[in-house]
């Protein structure tokens, strides 16, 4: 796998995993657009590993406090997590719907649903969903005042992320807004919620790679480079996006999703990219 492709795809992962514009959609379309070969399972796991690195590094103190609070220990100073000490178990419960959806629809998600028509349609549909949420009154709940029903509802919406083009962050942040969370709180919970699912996917992929004889020699450098770039890039994107949401809306991402979705469908219709 050429190094320039590794760099481009890892940067795309860093940007699109946390911004609400669909990493799966971009990573499926970009190689087709440029005529690149499918990078395969090994590189996919590298990008998952990079995403986990980003979440672990940026939210390191939060994870310490979440885990401690889940077992009744008072460690950490974040006031929101102090008010909601059992959030670790809320996240665990909210992860279940995505796990079930992955088991039931995993083959379709890796196969027929990677069609440009499906990806383009989901980009547009979820874009309008985000637009609807932004039109309403933005809530005032932070993570400290979230209810278990809020968390589970967001978790149920995360199950839609098995469909390429949906955007895990896009659909969960939007659902958080509809449940009355602030933009920043909705994004923060979305990123923390994504960790168990990404970890499970990475572990499953690592197991499959190990059964196949491990990482091929010619993929060892792309694996390492992809993990590092997507991980460090992801930390920067998380920091920027959370800061952005304190004073700004999701509307630029709504416009981007709709335009990109239309472009993807048009490219498929004119056979510029294939299924």
Q: Is 149 exposed, middle or buried (0-12, 13-18, 19+ CB in 10 A)?
A: exposed
Per-residue model confidence (pLDDT) at position 204: 86
Per-residue model confidence (pLDDT) at position 207: 87
Query: How far apart are the C-alpha atoms of 136 and 179, rounded to whole Å?
Result: 11
Selected residue with higher pLDDT from 169 and 139? 169
pLDDT per residue as tens digits for the range 162-184:
999 999 999 999 999 999 999 99
Confidence at 79, pLDDT banded by 50, 70, 90? very high
- Cross-strand partners of 181: 141
Specify the range with the lowest mean pLDDT, choosing from 29-33, 50-54, 229-233, 249-253. 29-33
- Provide the token pair at 227: 């993990």
pLDDT per residue as tens digits for the range 40-53:
888 999 999 999 99
> The whole model's pTM is what?
0.94
Q: Say if residue 245's pLDDT is above 70.
A: yes
Query: How far apart are the C-alpha atoms of 191 and 185, rounded to whole Å?
Result: 10
Q: Please provide the average confidence, as pLDDT, over all residues in the chain.
A: 93
Q: Say if residue 271's pLDDT is above 90.
A: no
Query: How far apart are the C-alpha atoms of 58 and 147, rounded to whole Å?
Result: 24
Q: Say if residue 227's pLDDT is above 90.
A: yes
Per-residue model confidence (pLDDT) at position 40: 84
Mean pLDDT calculated for residue range 74-82: 93
């Amino acid at each position: 796998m050429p190094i320039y492709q590794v760099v481009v795809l890892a940067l795309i992962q860093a940007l699109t995993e946390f911004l609400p514009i669909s990493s799966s959609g971009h990573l499926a379309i970009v190689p087709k657009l440029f005529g690149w070969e499918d990078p395969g399972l090994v590189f996919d796991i590298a990008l998952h590993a990079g995403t986990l690195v980003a979440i672990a590094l940026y939210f390191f103190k939060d994870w310490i406090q979440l885990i401690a609070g889940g077992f009744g220990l008072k460690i950490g100073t974040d006031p929101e997590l102090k008010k909601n000490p059992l959030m670790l178990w809320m996240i665990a419960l909210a992860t279940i719907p995505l796990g079930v959806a992955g088991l039931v629809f995993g083959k379709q998600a890796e196969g027929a649903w990677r069609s440009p028509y499906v990806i383009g349609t989901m980009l547009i549909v979820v874009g309008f969903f985000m637009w609807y949420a932004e039109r309403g009154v933005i809530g005032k709940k932070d993570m400290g005042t979230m209810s278990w029903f809020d968390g589970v509802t967001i978790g149920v919406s995360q199950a839609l992320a098995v469909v390429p083009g949906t955007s895990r962050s896009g659909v969960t942040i939007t659902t958080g807004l509809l449940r009355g969370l602030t933009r920043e709180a909705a994004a923060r919970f979305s990123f923390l919620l994504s960790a168990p699912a990404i970890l499970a996917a990475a572990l499953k992929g690592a197991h499959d790679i190990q059964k196949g004889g491990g990482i091929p020699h010619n993929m060892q450098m792309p694996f390492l480079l992809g993990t590092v770039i997507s991980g460090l890039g992801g930390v920067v994107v998380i920091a920027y996006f959370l800061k952005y949401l304190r004073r700004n809306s999701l509307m630029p991402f709504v416009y981007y999703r709709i335009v990109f979705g239309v472009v993807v469908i048009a490219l498929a219709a004119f056979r510029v990219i294939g299924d």
